[in-house]
Structure 1
């Protein structure tokens, strides 16, 4: 598979998927998965999401920052479905980072200007002691569905994409 087509597929997924699934594990080894709206940042590939600090995944991230996740887009035809999986490290943004990424996050999750005006929390509501935070996932590994081989043998596989192949996003 050519790296440019893998980057093109990745870009399509990042732009078209509206939600990602994020998996965490608690200190007592209990797995958890949640669905989140997100914004993505290129080079290196990162995800932004907002969450309440009392949520289970936020608590998990505080003590165990390693996460994994997936995102997908579906079409009307079977071969139009595409997806990716990732793992990485997640952390709460600092106050300065919230200021830096605030607009990027809300522009992505609330593309309609009217909705954005109504539902955007101010940056001050996303830092301590407020009950909400913005988080950043630094992607360490990225896989795409191997659509080429599935068409041949109907076995669901993933192909690992070097992050260096995604620097043109």
Structure 2
């Protein structure tokens, strides 16, 4: 039986260890899927990446910020894989948060300072008429592959995970229920 604690643990592992997500966007030219490198932020659950402004998924987000996506890992014990799907809204990061979120992205994505220096792009690339933008998506719904059901009947299904369970950072204390201390 799948417990909320188990679903949360699996979700946390995916969020913290998957480095790429596939985005599904919709725009004037139709539907489009693209894979981008992201870093997570929590409380609420958000995923941060950068792309060229002219990329089709970037243009689609400008036209309609609603999207869906997925993350997955292979080579895991047991079934060998795990994955999640989500719905979200996304937007370009504004100038007021650009420096802060850029710094977070590069520190989280490239912990080694020398490697970070090699990959870091100048902030001017992301400002005004620059060719790139950082994007931040806020997850609205989160589902996991229902591994327990798959092992029973090999039906490929998803199980909804409450967003509150995956929004909190794994090392953050659990919220205290109202009326208790």
| TM-score normalized by the length of structure 2 | 0.87
Counterpart of 1:59?
Answer: 59
| Deviation sequence 1:16-36 (CA, Å, 0-9, x none) | 2121001111124x1100010
| Structure of higher CA gyration radius | 2
Show structure 1 runs of 5+ residues with no match. Answer: none
For 1:76 and 1:100, locate their aligned partners in 2 and report how far apart those are by CA, in whole Å: 34
Contact 2:45 2:168 in 1 (8 A): no
Shift of 1:78: 5.9
Q: Secondary structure at the match of 1:15?
A: helix
Counterpart of 1:126?
Answer: 126
Counterpart of 1:3?
Answer: 4
Structure having the larger proportion of residues in helix: 1
Counterpart of 2:16?
Answer: 15
Q: Which moved more, 1:84-93 or 1:115-124?
A: 115-124
**Alignment map for 1:1-169 (pairs within 5 Å):** 1-28=2-29, 30-75=30-75, 79-169=79-169
- Runs of 4+ that moved beyond 4 A: none
For 2:113 and 2:148, locate their aligned partners in 1 and report how far apart those are by CA, in whole Å: 39
For 1:64 and 1:77, locate their aligned partners in 2 and report how far apart those are by CA, in whole Å: 38
For 1:120 and 1:12, locate their aligned partners in 2 and report how far apart those are by CA, in whole Å: 26
Shift of 1:94: 0.5
Counterpart of 2:177?
Answer: none
For 1:131 and 1:167, locate their aligned partners in 2 and report how far apart those are by CA, in whole Å: 31
Q: How many residues align?
A: 168
Show structure 2 runs of 5+ residues with no match. Answer: 170-181
Shift of 1:77: 5.3
